Amino acid sequence: MSTAGKLWGVGLGPGDPELVTVKAARVIAAADVIAFHSARHGRSISRGIAAPYMRPGQLEEHLVYPVTTETTDHPGGYQGAIDEFYEQAAERLAAHLSAGRSVALLAAGDPLFYSSYMHMHRRLADRFEAEIIPGITSVSAASAALGTPLVEGEQVLTVLPGTMPTEELTRRLRDTDAAAIMKLGRTYPGVRQALSDAGRLDDAYYVERASTDREQVRTAAEVNDADVPYFSITLVPGPRPTTPLPRIAAATKTADSNSTTVPAEANSPGEVVVVGLGPGATDWTTPEVREALAAATDLVGYTTYIDRVPHRPGQRRHASDNRVESERAAMALDLAKHGAKVAVVSSGDPGVFAMAAAVLEESADPQWQDVPVRVLPGLTAANAVASRVGAPLGHDYAMISLSDRLKPWEVVAQRLSAVAAADMAIAIYNPASSQRTWQVGAMRDLLLEHRKPDTPVVLGRDVGGPTESVRVVSLIDLDPADVDMRTLLIIGASTTAVVDTPHGTRVYTSRRYHPA
């Protein structure tokens, strides 16, 4: 009877073959079988790193994931497909081990740090001898690429997966000194949102393919969501950098080498243009607004909205928290007073619960009297949400912000009652946030005093964005837990009808008024 072979979990480090440890290189060269994972395209990053240390004639086990997203027709869903794959892969390796062959299972980074190796270890280590060779993690490589300390003294580093819910990611970012966010790729929009909501976006950096010849280092705010691969990481250092970050400057220069620098005419008069980007989709930003953004020397706005504007070399970006409208307006006016062409960026339409009013109110101060202010319209969220289901705003309607941050709740309640009694449809902006959670329930109860329980309510979340969802429920069934800061509500009138068609649910409010 042959002696069973040994399983090696081999950490390869972050990508540079020269960062493979001496022990890992020795084990790779000596192993009977080299095992590695890849997606269906067949290209294995791990095998590419290990290739310089492999010898001719070694057996190879190529373990191909059946799925890489949660879309699958497997009867057990995504988790069922992955569990079945790991079981089958483990048995393939067990056959080699039982036959007395040693197996080096390759793992990018460290085998026990967000690695597929651990799934094999759980299924094999109780039957066969197993040894783990640690590797340099992507966190260490990204920190080295950034060239600034990640933590020092008593500071705490938190490692977070980008797949966490945005709200939980936000909470954890607020509560730590330093952070490393992994598993990016298609999760990056949510990660960016969490960084912004936690007030950490300005201190965050993005490192792509650290230690390889394709390494890129940028500020997290300037990264295009569509260009983020899985092998990237976001770092929020604990200590604020006290020296320049030359790697970031070099990477940005290289990435933008074919771009056109925004012209700045120092002696030309400045101005402020308040623009609306629309609610989400880039197609909803008007050509007029795009031209104004391209001509601006400075962008001013809430961080989340600034992030939607493509980065242009030479254009200065002044991002801030969402609760400083007056200060933001004053900054824009002051920049323009000194010759800058400033675009104040709003989502939707700048004149609907956005920055146009704040800028115009601030511009009434005599110190800004020589600064011209223009307002360029944008598609507002109410119309975007309405279009997804038909025409629920087809007759008279009102727009009401449910936020009681700038006006007392008593005023909000009074206006809701007045509009409800007038039998108009209502578009509800700012229905909830992480700090405001009870207002939606209070609104529902107040409206039920004037509207029937089956009054249709449209819930539009992130319309035009990557996580868009639109649903129609009855007023009585409106659940506050389904509403967050990215949701807009449309409350129907007595004349609002819901029709189920082969093409989906349609909602409209007739232009002829025949109260029910």
* Domain end marker among 108, 136, 164: 136
Please compute the mean of the pLDDT values over residues 432-450 and round it to a whole number: 89
Domain-located, residue 262: no
**With contact defined as beta carbons under 8 Å apart, do 455 and 474 qualify?**
yes
Domain-located, residue 83: yes
Position 41 scores a pLDDT of 74
Position 214 scores a pLDDT of 78
pLDDT for residue 63 is more than 60: yes
* Domain end marker among 322, 351, 376: 376
The whole-angstrom separation of Cα 49 and Cα 261 is: 38
Domain-located, residue 188: yes
pLDDT band at 259 (very low <50, low <70, confident <90, very high): very low
Query: In terms of domains, do 127 and 143 share one?
Result: no
Crossing angle, helix 188-197 and helix 166-174, to 10 degrees? 40
Position 245 scores a pLDDT of 67
Position 261 scores a pLDDT of 36
pLDDT for residue 212 is more than 80: yes
Position 243 scores a pLDDT of 61
Position 260 scores a pLDDT of 34
Position 32 scores a pLDDT of 96
CATH code at position 447: 3.30.950.10
Average pLDDT, the chain: 88
**Which residues neighbour 485 within 8 Å (Cβ) at sequence distance 6 or greater?**
430, 432, 433, 434
The residue that leads in pLDDT, 70 or 404, is 404
pLDDT for residue 449 is more than 50: yes
Domain-located, residue 424: yes
Long-range contacts of 464-472 (CB under 8 A, 24+ apart): 464/278, 464/279, 464/280, 464/281, 464/284, 464/384, 465/189, 465/279, 465/280, 465/281, 466/189, 466/225, 467/189, 468/280, 470/385, 470/388, 470/389, 472/389, 472/498, 472/505, 472/507
Position 405 scores a pLDDT of 78
Domain-located, residue 1: no
pLDDT for residue 267 is more than 70: no
Per-residue tokens: 13: 């480090």
Query: In terms of domains, do 97 and 13 share one?
Result: yes
Domain-located, residue 121: yes
The whole-angstrom separation of Cα 333 and Cα 341 is: 10
Query: In terms of domains, do 387 and 357 share one?
Result: no
**With contact defined as beta carbons under 8 Å apart, do 145 and 215 qualify?**
yes
pLDDT for residue 251 is more than 60: no
**481 burial level (CB within 10 Å; 0-12, 13-18, 19+):** exposed
Position 38 scores a pLDDT of 85
Position 73 scores a pLDDT of 66
Position 257 scores a pLDDT of 39
Q: How many domains is the chain built from?
A: 4
The whole-angstrom separation of Cα 162 and Cα 213 is: 24
Query: In terms of domains, do 102 and 162 share one?
Result: no
Euclidean distance between the first and final Cα of the chain, in Å? 86
The residue that leads in pLDDT, 45 or 477, is 477
Task: Tell me the pLDDT tens digit for each residue of 124-154.
Answer: 999 999 999 999 999 999 999 988 889 999 9
Please compute the mean of the pLDDT values over residues 237-249 and round it to a whole number: 69
Query: In terms of domains, do 500 and 386 share one?
Result: yes
Position 112 scores a pLDDT of 94
pLDDT band at 466 (very low <50, low <70, confident <90, very high): confident
* Domain end marker among 315, 341, 376: 376
Query: In terms of domains, do 149 and 121 share one?
Result: no
Domain-located, residue 515: no
Query: In terms of domains, do 414 and 505 share one?
Result: yes
Position 328 scores a pLDDT of 86
CATH code at position 327: 3.40.1010.10
- Enclosing domain of residue 111: 7-136
Query: In terms of domains, do 53 and 81 share one?
Result: yes
pLDDT for residue 256 is more than 80: no
Position 242 scores a pLDDT of 64
Query: In terms of domains, do 332 and 390 share one?
Result: no
Please compute the mean of the pLDDT values over residues 382-406 and round it to a whole number: 93
Task: Tell me the pLDDT tens digit for each residue of 395-437.
Answer: 999 999 998 878 899 999 999 999 999 999 999 999 988 777 7
Query: In terms of domains, do 92 and 163 share one?
Result: no
**With contact defined as beta carbons under 8 Å apart, do 206 and 234 qualify?**
yes
Position 258 scores a pLDDT of 37
Position 1 scores a pLDDT of 43
How much is the CA Rg of the chain, to the nearest whole Å? Answer: 28
Query: In terms of domains, do 426 and 497 share one?
Result: yes
Position 247 scores a pLDDT of 56
**413 burial level (CB within 10 Å; 0-12, 13-18, 19+):** middle
Query: In terms of domains, do 326 and 411 share one?
Result: no
pLDDT for residue 235 is more than 90: yes
Please compute the mean of the pLDDT values over residues 192-205 and round it to a whole number: 92
Domain-located, residue 353: yes
Please compute the mean of the pLDDT values over residues 176-180 and round it to a whole number: 95
Position 292 scores a pLDDT of 94
Please compute the mean of the pLDDT values over residues 388-399 and round it to a whole number: 95
Task: Tell me the pLDDT tens digit for each residue of 282-291.
Answer: 889 999 999 9
pLDDT band at 303 (very low <50, low <70, confident <90, very high): confident
pLDDT for residue 262 is more than 50: no
Position 133 scores a pLDDT of 97
